Structure 1
């Protein structure tokens, strides 16, 4: 029988999101280099850099909104620290994980901005890795910490979008 998670224990030991983003960017650029830019046509369309820049700007604005929401609630934004309050307003009304949505969007936007097709192609793998290494452990933590309140929030708010 698996023991119930400790409600005060952090959801993860490592800050996975920045690690996973950097790995995605490095792997994508490495694959671009190894293939000699063979797939460059995927991101070489008029306005790709402008679109990428706009996606990055919107994602960073969303991150700031999320940070302000956490600051107002006096809870941590760090994914490897235990939460003290449940955020359900602001950007958290639309998504249970708006920061992770931003992480995926920033990575996609950077891929377009840099003209890096493998960064763009690896972005869905980043989303899967974030879900496995960050979101699912955080959900277990939040269920242990906030119980019925978090279950109700899960029922009315999507995980991603």
Structure 2
């Protein structure tokens, strides 16, 4: 086993990435405001509320599943078990999907369309900075079991 690949992340990137995305969206709204016409704003609020509920539910379900499986929730710690039940049956990264949906949903609810754009940017950065490293860690720890899991479960949705 390659010792370098078996290490988990040394820095908690996801909170930093999503925090910077929120700050950027707030800055962009101030300097480059984008407004939705009234009927679309009401529809956007409803969609945002739905996305927010789905995101919170997904994150709570994912954390509950990880705790029940007796493995870490933190990205900078080594995982004890490969979790493939609960929301992990549908997506390999339910917490990051939840963060992304939450950011987009809150943006639609408060009328800041930049949140939706920055949620996509945060998701892309999370894939590059976090998910690929985590996947290498899981591959080195769980080998073929993780490969089979990757074949039947998508990275995002």
Pairs within 5 Å for 1:68-147: 68-147=64-143
Task: Indicate whether 1:41 and 2:36 are aligned.
Answer: yes
Counterpart of 2:4 in structure 1 is: 5
Aligned residues between the structures: 155
Change (3 A) 1:42 1:103: farther
**TM-score (norm. length: structure 1):** 0.89
Task: Tell me which stretches of 4 or more aligned residues in structure 1 moved more than 6 Å.
Answer: none
Where does structure 1 lack aligned partners over 5 or more consecutive residues?
Answer: none
RMSD across aligned C-alpha pairs, in angstroms?
A: 1.7
Counterpart of 2:11 in structure 1 is: 14
| Distance in structure 2 (CA, Å) of the matches to 1:71 and 1:90 | 12
| Distance in structure 2 (CA, Å) of the matches to 1:54 and 1:108 | 11
**TM-score (norm. length: structure 2):** 0.92
Secondary structure of the 1:46 match is helix
Where does structure 2 lack aligned partners over 5 or more consecutive residues?
Answer: none
Q: CA deviation digits over 1:5-62, x for unaligned, max 9?
A: 353x22x121111111111111011011012x2x122895223223212211111111
Displacement of 1:4: 5.3
Task: Indicate whether 1:160 and 2:156 are aligned.
Answer: yes
Counterpart of 1:62 in structure 2 is: 58
Change (3 A) 1:129 1:6: closer
Task: Indicate whether 1:28 and 2:25 are aligned.
Answer: yes
